[in-house]
Amino acid sequence: MSATGKRYEYDSHEASAEPFIQNVERYFGPACPTAKLDALTQGEREAVRLGVVIAGMRKEAVVLAIGYPPRRDTPTLDRPMWTYWRSRERSFFVEFDASGVVLKTYN
């Protein structure tokens, strides 16, 4: 149980393509990344608050908004398109321009 009284569950899946501890450390930290949040534009901060991806966001903001993409489908963050999962059967994609800014998302 967290300090907020909420209970969280985290399932390990072989598709994460990395050891459990490494995967958990990518998503959870010891404190809120305040400096990273402060470096965002106002539009990026709002998208992060809502947990959405919008055109014009930088890669750092996408990670803060919806997390890292699974390594199995996006082994490096240098790729121009990241793949995320909605469910076992459905994915969605985030496409970036050469400077790492979101062009659009695909369902």
Structural domain includes residue 33: yes
Task: Quote the number of domains for the chain.
Answer: 1
- pTM value is 0.81
**For residues 60 and 83, what is the distance between their CA atoms, to the nearest angstrom?**
15
Structural domain includes residue 88: yes
Tokens of 23: 């995967």
**For residues 66 and 6, what is the distance between their CA atoms, to the nearest angstrom?**
19
Structural domain includes residue 70: yes
**Torsion angle of alpha carbons 42, 44, 49, 53, nearest 10°?**
150
Could you list the beta-strand ranges (E) of 1-107.
81-85, 91-96, 102-106
Digitized pLDDT (tens) for each residue of the chain, 107 residues in all: 567 777 777 777 777 778 888 877 777 777 888 999 999 999 999 999 999 999 999 999 999 999 999 888 999 999 999 999 988 889 999 999 999 999 999 98
